[in-house]
């Protein structure tokens, strides 16, 4: 294309390499963060769905389902159903972990 490049090929190549490395250094951590947040939101949504299912079962039957550990989508969730003696109501909690941190979703049964 250009017959007279006069040694600019090496400098242009280094400049494009540096630009590529800078771009990947900025975009790669952002992509990893977005992927981690997607996984986290999927686990939270699953925990909320399991909590809702357990609350509905409790409301319909009046007793807990007897399920203690539920494995869904390769993740393990612990179901804890407590009866509050003061007003004889129920409290349902779902325990799960994200990146070795324990999380808990709880709701009272009405």
For residue 2, the model assigns a pLDDT of 57
For residue 57, the model assigns a pLDDT of 92
59: tokens are 């409301």
Reported confidence tier of residue 74, pLDDT bands at 50, 70, 90: confident
pLDDT tens-place string over residues 10-67? 788 899 999 999 999 999 999 999 999 999 999 999 999 999 999 999 999 988 888 8
- Is residue 20 assigned to a domain? yes
pLDDT at 9 over 90: no
- Is residue 100 assigned to a domain? yes
Number of folded domains that form the chain: 1
- Do residues 89 and 98 lie in contact, with contact meaning Cβ atoms separated by under 8 Å? no
For residue 92, which of 74, 72, 65, 73 has the smallest C-alpha distance?
Answer: 65
For residue 40, the model assigns a pLDDT of 92
- Is residue 42 assigned to a domain? yes
- Is residue 81 assigned to a domain? yes
For residue 7, the model assigns a pLDDT of 63
- Is residue 46 assigned to a domain? yes
Q: How far apart are CA 80 and CA 107, in angstroms?
A: 11
Can you tell me the mean pLDDT for 79-99?
89
Residue by residue, DSSP assigns 34-83 as: HHHHHHHHHHHHHHHHHHHHHHHHHHHHSS-----EEEETTEEEEEEEEE
Range of the domain at 13: 8-109
């Amino acid at each position: 294309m250009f017959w007279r490049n006069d040694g600019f090929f090496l400098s242009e190549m280094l400049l494009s390499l540096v630009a590529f490395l800078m771009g990947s250094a900025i975009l790669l951590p952002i992509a990893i963060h977005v992927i981690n947040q997607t996984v986290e939101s999927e686990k939270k949504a699953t925990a909320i769905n399991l909590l809702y299912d357990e609350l509905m079962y409790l409301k319909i039957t009046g007793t807990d389902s007897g399920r203690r550990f539920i494995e869904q989508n390769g993740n393990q969730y612990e179901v804890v159903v407590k009866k509050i003696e003061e007003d004889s109501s129920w409290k349902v909690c779902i325990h799960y972990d994200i990146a070795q941190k324990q999380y808990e979703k709880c709701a009272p049964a009405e």
